[in-house]
Amino acid sequence: MHISFSPQRRDDALEVSKSGDVLTINGEAYDFSPLPDGATIPAGEIPCEWIVNDVERIDGEIHLTLVLPHGPNPPEEVAFPEPITVMEDGPITLPGSVQDVDA
C-alpha cells in the first residue's frame, strides 16, 4: 500500500493500521480489496474525511492520500512528508510519530 500525505493544521489525532487491503483509520475500516487493478474510487465517494484524493490500484497496489494532522510549527518531516510504502500488516507509523525504542 502506497500512502501519500496532505499535511493539515488540526488538533485531532490520526491512527492508521493495515490488514491486507483493509485500511483502518481511527477505528473505521475501509476495505479496498474489491478494487480491480487500474481502477479508481473518487475521493468524494469514500465516506472518510481523512482520505483526500482518489484511491487507485496500480500494478496490484493500493495508492491513496491521507490528511496528516499537525500542531503549530510542525517538524520538516511532518510539514513536507515523504510518501510511504506499507508492506506489513499492523499499525502504521506516520511521519512525525514517536516510536518506542527498547533499551
Residue 98: the pLDDT is 54
Q: What is the pTM of this model?
A: 0.89
Angle at 29 between CA 24 and CA 35, to 5 degrees: 100
Beta bridge pairs of residue 61: 58
How many CB atoms within 10 Å of residue 68? 23
Over residues 30-39, the mean pLDDT reads 97
